[in-house]
Amino acid sequence: MAIQLQRTATDNVGIPLSREGGYTQPSLQVLSCQTCNTRSNCVVKQLNLTRVQSYQPVKNRRVLSKGSHVFRGGDEAKAIYVVSRGSIKSYMLMEDGEEQVLNFYMPGDVFGLEAMGGGGHISSTVTLETTTVCMLPMSKLRDRVLGQNFLNVISTNLLRDHNQMLMLARKDAEGRLASFILDMLKRVDREHGSDNAIKLTMTRQDIANYLGQAIETVCRTLRKFQDGGILKVTRRTVEIYDYDGLLKIAGSQIAR
């Protein structure tokens, strides 16, 4: 149906990093950590105050009207965020133009971590109501964490989980299995140097369980793929004949 993201009047935000700057965007207010009444240990507050003794109030809280985007897929990762008040929906735009909801963030929730690896945001986040968001600039984060490598590891793990959620939520039996096989083809050791054969190390039961299906469904789908000339299954060895065909069946994937 609605193939395009509806851009309303309050849409298209992006929270500015800098103190002022000529950003024209619907942040209703700009606040500092000082006025935040969160009692618990806040990451933003913690990372802002420790070791960096800037007593001047850093303006890192924004009040956003309903429907505002904090960031969009493709945006550079400028910060990680915390919901102070309100609620946020995170989603991905699939290649068919439909959106897939990944998460809802409530007060206290931290989001935007998947982009810490440096590849930019893959998902988008939009407010569901008037919402206050705090931000921790990536620059401060990178200084204080043991290197980009660690951030990469974390975001890789998060992205992979998102991919899995996405698969379970959107795809049918064939799509799930195709995704799984493609994923393994990327990650698993090739069978004796062969470029298109993989040796699965897990049981059908494990695969079925992972894909949220009955074991019989996995078997039948494999057979269907084989009958269709897409691949050949011999015990736990899978030889792929039609890579593009698999890609088509699998549908959208998170790139990284």
Q: Please report whether residue 233 would count as binding DNA according to CB under 7 A.
A: yes
> Which residue in 10, 32, 103, 253 binds a second copy (CB under 8 A)?
103
The radius of gyration of the chain's CA atoms, rounded to the nearest angstrom, is 22
> Binding partner of residue 150 among DNA, a second copy, none, CB under 5 to 8 Å per kind?
a second copy
214 touches DNA by CB under 7 A: yes
What is the rounded CA–CA span in Å between residue 39 and residue 41?
Answer: 7
Q: With binding defined as CB under 7 A, does residue 173 bind DNA?
A: yes
- All residues at 6 or more sequence positions from 39 whose CB lies less than 8 Å from its CB, including other chains: none
Residue pair 105/87 in contact (Cβ under 8 Å)? The answer is yes
74 by Cβ neighbours in 10 Å (0-12 / 13-18 / 19+) ranks as exposed
Cβ pair 59, 19 in contact under 8 A: yes
Number of chain residues interacting with a second copy (CB under 8 A): 55
**In terms of DSSP bridges, do strands 124-127 and 99-105 run parallel, antiparallel, or are they unpaired?**
unpaired
Nearer to DNA, 29 or 203 (CB): 203
Yes or no: say if 73 and 121 are a contact pair by the CB < 8 Å rule: yes
- Binding of residue 29 to a second copy (CB under 8 A): no
Q: Please, which residue, 84 or 217, has the CB nearer to DNA?
A: 217
Considering only CA atoms, which of 234, 225, 238 is closest in space to residue 196? 238
Cα 238 to chain centroid distance, Å, stands at 29
Could you say whether residue 165 binds a second copy (CB under 8 A)? yes
Selected from 212, 239, 254, 256, the binder of DNA by CB under 7 A is: 212
Which residues would be at the binding site for a second copy (CB under 8 A)? 41, 43, 46-47, 50, 86-87, 89, 91, 99-104, 106-111, 113, 128-129, 141, 144-147, 149-150, 153-154, 156-158, 160-162, 164-165, 168-170, 184, 187-189, 201-202, 206, 209-212
Which residues would be at the binding site for DNA (CB under 7 A)? 6, 8-9, 172-174, 203-205, 212-217, 219-220, 222-223, 233, 235-236
